[in-house]
Every structure is written in structure tokens, then in C-alpha cells.
Copies of this chain bind each other. A is one copy, B any other.
Amino acid sequence: MRDSVTILQEHGIQPSAQRVAVADYVLKTVEHPSADLVWTRVKARVPYISRATVYNTLNLFVEKGLLRALALAEDSVVFDPNVDRHHHLVDESGAIHDIPWDKVQVCNIETLKGFEIHDYQVVMRGVRKSARRKS
């Protein structure tokens, strides 16, 4: 995994200590955290970071294309460091899983009359099937 400082610089973001701390967590996670969860996680390593900074930083990262903000569940916006096209599965437990773009195909979307589609994804609800050994 590449260095957070480098990634920030490549996207025209001054790599301050706080921003690097946020990047170190949020660019590598797969847990689709809410902003407050990001705050909690980052505070565990850098206790002096403020809530406003976390929100500012997350919004900056979204603006600069490092993150995507997703409004999939009812109760909060979550962040996803996977900015390539992909689909999402919202588990009934609340967990969110990325589904690779080529696992599912959407047909006839370009023939929709009257609209210009800029982007789309399939949003699924379901449960992760319990794997073999559970206990």
C-alpha cells in the first residue's frame, strides 16, 4: 500500500499531520465508516484531533477524488476509499460490502429516453451467507 503523504501530494493536498492520520485509516479501510467512526478510529492513534478537522478532511478528500461519500443506509453517510466503479451490498446487519463492477451487468441503461446518465450502480440488500464452520 502506498504512502499516505505521497497520495495526498499527488492530489494537491497539503499533508498535515492530521490529514495524514485520517488518510492512514480511511484510505485503507474496508469497513465503510461514518464520519464519526473515522473520528473514533483516528483519535485512537492521534488523540488531539478535533471533530471539525475530521469532517473537513473527509469532505476535502471527497472533493479531491480520494474518497466517495455514500448515502446507502438510512442513518448516515459513509465513506469508501474505493473510487472505481463498483456496486454495493447492504447487509441486514448494517455492514456494507463492495461488489466488483464486472460481477453484475446492467443492460439497456443507455437507451433510457429523456435522461443523460452520468453514473450508476446496483444497490443490493441481503445477508452474507454464513460460511461453513460458524462456531
* Contact call A126/B121, Cβ cutoff below 8 A: no
A112 at the interface (CB under 8 A from B): yes
A51 within 8 A of B: no
Interface residues of A: mostly helix, strand, loop or mixed? strand
User: Does any Cβ of B come within 8 Å of A125's Cβ?
Assistant: yes
A12 beta carbon closer than 8 Å to chain B: no
B115 touches A104 (CB 8 A): no
B114 touches A104 (CB 8 A): no
How far apart are A71's CB and chain B's nearest CB, in angstroms?
A: 5
Chain B residues whose C-beta falls within 8 Å of the C-beta of A112 in the assembled complex: 89, 99, 103-104, 124
Identify the A interface with B (CB < 8 A). 69, 71-74, 77, 89, 92, 97, 99, 103-109, 112, 114-129, 131
- Please list 29 pairs of residues, one from A and one from B, whose beta carbons are closer than 8 Å in the complex, sorted by A's number: A71-B73, A71-B74, A74-B77, A89-B112, A89-B115, A89-B117, A92-B118, A104-B112, A105-B106, A106-B107, A106-B122, A107-B107, A109-B124, A114-B129, A115-B128, A115-B129, A117-B124, A117-B125, A118-B125, A118-B126, A118-B127, A119-B124, A120-B124, A120-B125, A121-B122, A121-B123, A122-B122, A122-B123, A123-B123
